[in-house]
Structure 1
């Protein structure tokens, strides 16, 4: 028998908006402990049903969850900004499965095969430009530029942008208006946003022309095809699924999904290493060993950096760049004894289990030894889900799992650095990675090796 949904703690007029913004993972965890796995959040005229805990995460990945949970409504506004009605991120059901099948190869870890040297060259050039001894580095802003270049090489086999200010503006403003609902829609009428959007539309057309020309020059198939080649092929071979109007959104999908999340995750790791010299020394030792034999590949990266892998995993656990999955109910269903109604807006709080002392001793303490050595724990399914869960699992997961540790390892191998403010603390704000380490400042030191 269902009961009336409990309502999360709130403040008059603004509801739960402030605690959600200031520290969403901590707020959701506290409400989970107070109300259980299903509760209601109200924030400035909006309402969300929160499904929290391991069972909620596993429900997302279940056949029942696949049929009951949709992404289209949550992401539709973002998609509309690109002049299309549907794309990988907001499609559901069979159409989503078809989208994933068309781009699976381009997003696979094999997309990095033969590109490790190029990625390292990009990191080295970036370090030589931005990390000169004594330079003060705005970590996230600088890393965003690096991530965009890395993704360009992985998915397009070429550098695509000289400047990314317009990408930052378009993604951040559209996210805050359409996805997070924190800014008024009129923000997108302002000249700064309209100029950024126009430039991104022009970029999408330019990129599409490049890869259309590659396809025209190789009617039998592009040798060494990358994701963007696959998108052009999908548009031509399956116009009922991938239309010309769908191309801009799908071409920018990797940048939209990866720029903020990867840059903030890398920045949070660099911050943590600066605050823990013992962790840093172990990572530097692994990195030096990794690169001593030349350019690594995926196998050597994971074999030679086990402590770094534990650092990455613990960073994603404690500082999730995507703490919730935004969904809507495709139909009425029951979860944990509560009735969820068709059309309701949902938050799947993946971050709650990651902060639970039921699975982690002292869960608010950064401890990479949870994932390595004699203290290593066995983590049940659904406890860690930094890339989401189920049929909407992040397509860039496999690439991110390589690029993040490879980038940290190269920085640790080549450069020393310190926090500009030794007392700096990472944020826990909800902006899909935008604000986790947005104001982190580092001071570059001397070169180490390489």
Structure 2
């Protein structure tokens, strides 16, 4: 006999809207402890089924979960803003597997081969432009600009934008309307959004032309050296899958997925290090060693900076920029004794286990030594999933695992800094990376390189 699905704590009219906005991971963790791995949340006329806990996270990565859960419904509205019907982020089943196969090489760490020096130059140029001693830096806003330039170099081998305000507007507004559904649809008719969208479409046309010309100049008409080259090649080789109609969305996929998540994660790490001088000193020492021998590569980055890697893991555990996975039920299925119906809107709460004492002692304390040294812990599968889980695992995971620590290492190697507000705490508000450290201000200090 199946069980009735319990309903999370709520208030009249607004349901669980405020606690979900104000402290989503802690709220979901508390409700998980109270109701178990399957429960319903209701917020301002909407409802979501929550799947939480390690077993639920691992279900996402199982063959049954692959067939039962989809992403198309959650992301379809955002994708339609790019004038396309299907892309990597919203495709399911065999079509999604085909998309991933076409872009796998471009999203792999090998995409960084030969580009470390150029990425470091981009970071240094950014520091020289923004890190004036005594300046108060809105760090997330500025890091968004850096991340877009880094991704442009990694995926396109060149800088692609003079400014990114229109990219911010298009991504943030469409996310709030279509994915999070916090804003009314009429917001996307406003002139500011329409101007941003028109400019973004023009950018997509311009970038497509650049890489089509590059392909024409390459042997056999296939450049095949970076993700954007691969997308052009896929359009030529598999036009029924990577259609001309789909190219704009897939060209902007890395920026859609990486701009906010990476910038907020890097900002969170810098903020945490400023609050923990002992940890900052360790990271500075590793960073100085990393760059003392010239331009690093992936091997030296991971070999020389084990403490930094632990800081990154602990930051992403305690401050995940994507705390839940948005899914829908592709078919009827049963999990933990509960019947789930086709079409049900689902949040897979990957963040719940991050705050569980079952896996992390004193889970609300920032402690990178969980992941390094003699007392390092063994983390079971599904207990730490900042990049998601399953066949929709973040495609940019391998790139992010390099760019995030490389950027942090270069910043602390080159510059001193501190918090403008010494009492500043990272927010418990989570919105797909948009709000985690949105108001963090860093005070730029002196150069550490005489």
Note the 1:399-438 alignment, pairs <5 A: 399-438=399-438
Gaps of 5+ in 2: none
Helix, strand or coil at the partner of 2:90:
coil
Give the stretch that moved more between structures: 424-433 or 342-351.
424-433
Q: CA separation of 1:345/1:224 partners in 2, compared to 1, >3 Å: closer, same or farther?
A: closer
Separation (CA, whole Å) in 2 of partners of 1:104 and 1:221 = 20
Separation (CA, whole Å) in 2 of partners of 1:431 and 1:254 = 18
Separation (CA, whole Å) in 1 of partners of 2:21 and 2:2 = 30
Give the stretch that moved more between structures: 220-229 or 272-281.
220-229
Alignment correspondent of 1:444:
444
Separation (CA, whole Å) in 1 of partners of 2:114 and 2:404 = 17
Note the 1:224-373 alignment, pairs <5 A: 225-373=225-373
C-alpha displacement of 1:224: 6.0
Name segments (4+ residues, structure 1) moved above 3 Å: 221-224
C-alpha displacement of 1:222: 4.4
Alignment correspondent of 1:157:
157
Separation (CA, whole Å) in 1 of partners of 2:132 and 2:224 = 35
Separation (CA, whole Å) in 2 of partners of 1:355 and 1:221 = 51
Separation (CA, whole Å) in 2 of partners of 1:218 and 1:320 = 41
Separation (CA, whole Å) in 1 of partners of 2:241 and 2:383 = 34
For the Cα contact (< 8 Å) 2:25–2:351, is it kept in 1?
yes
Helix, strand or coil at the partner of 1:386:
coil
Note the 1:156-235 alignment, pairs <5 A: 156-223=156-223, 225-235=225-235
User: Is 1:13 the equivalent of 2:33?
Assistant: no
Separation (CA, whole Å) in 2 of partners of 1:335 and 1:184 = 33
Separation (CA, whole Å) in 2 of partners of 1:122 and 1:350 = 33
Separation (CA, whole Å) in 1 of partners of 2:330 and 2:314 = 34
Alignment correspondent of 2:123:
123
Alignment correspondent of 2:87:
87
User: Is 1:377 the equivalent of 2:377?
Assistant: yes
Q: How many residues are aligned here? A: 450
C-alpha displacement of 1:298: 0.1
C-alpha displacement of 1:209: 0.5
Note the 1:9-48 alignment, pairs <5 A: 9-48=9-48
Separation (CA, whole Å) in 2 of partners of 1:329 and 1:371 = 35
Using structure 1 for the length normalisation, give the TM-score.
Answer: 0.99
Gaps of 5+ in 1: none
Using structure 2 for the length normalisation, give the TM-score.
Answer: 0.99
Separation (CA, whole Å) in 2 of partners of 1:26 and 1:339 = 26
For the Cα contact (< 8 Å) 2:224–2:233, is it kept in 1?
no
Give the stretch that moved more between structures: 212-221 or 125-134.
212-221
Residues 116-143 of structure 1, C-alpha deviations (whole Å, 9 max, x = no match):
0000000000000100111111000000
C-alpha displacement of 1:449: 2.0
Residues 74-128 of structure 1, C-alpha deviations (whole Å, 9 max, x = no match):
0000000000000000000000000000000000000000000000000000000
**How big is the alpha-carbon RMSD for the aligned residues of Structure 1 and Structure 2?**
0.8
Helix, strand or coil at the partner of 2:50:
strand
Helix, strand or coil at the partner of 2:23:
helix
Helix, strand or coil at the partner of 1:310:
helix
For the Cα contact (< 8 Å) 2:140–2:267, is it kept in 1?
yes
For the Cα contact (< 8 Å) 2:311–2:368, is it kept in 1?
yes
Helix, strand or coil at the partner of 1:410:
helix
Separation (CA, whole Å) in 1 of partners of 2:53 and 2:412 = 35
